[in-house]
A = this chain, B = another copy of it.
Amino acid sequence: MMSRRGPYAKGEAKRQEILDVALEVVAEMGCRKASNREIARRVGLSQAGLMHYFGSREDLYVAVLRARDERDDAAFWLPQQDIRGFLAIMRHNSQVPGLVQLYVEFSAEASIGKHPAHGFFVERYAWLRERFIGFVRFAQEDGTFGAGVDAGQVADVMIAAADGIQQQWLLDRDLDMVARLELVWEGLAAVSRGAVPTV
Contacts and interface: CB of A to CB of B under 8 A. Distances in A.
Nearest to A112: B101
Interface string A116-155: 0000011001000000000000010000110001000110
Interface stretch (A53-61, A65-73, A174-182): A174-182
A21 B105 CA distance: 28
A109 interface: yes
A57 to B, nearest CB: 15
A156 B175 contact: yes
Contacts of A145: 198
B183 A191 contact: yes
A29 to B, nearest CB: 12
A38 interface: no
Interface string A20-60: 00000000001000000000000000000000000000000
A160 B153 contact: no
A39 to B, nearest CB: 18
Interface string A148-169: 0100011011011111110110
Given A104-B111, A105-B108, A197-B186, A168 B160 contact: yes
Contacts of A160: 160-165, 167-168, 180
A32 B87 CA distance: 36
B171 A125 contact: yes
9 contacts: A104-B112, A107-B108, A111-B171, A122-B171, A156-B180, A157-B180, A160-B160, A160-B161, A190-B196
Given A163-B167, A164-B164, 14 more contacts: A84-B199, A104-B111, A107-B108, A108-B167, A112-B170, A139-B198, A156-B175, A157-B161, A157-B183, A159-B168, A160-B180, A182-B197, A184-B184, A190-B195
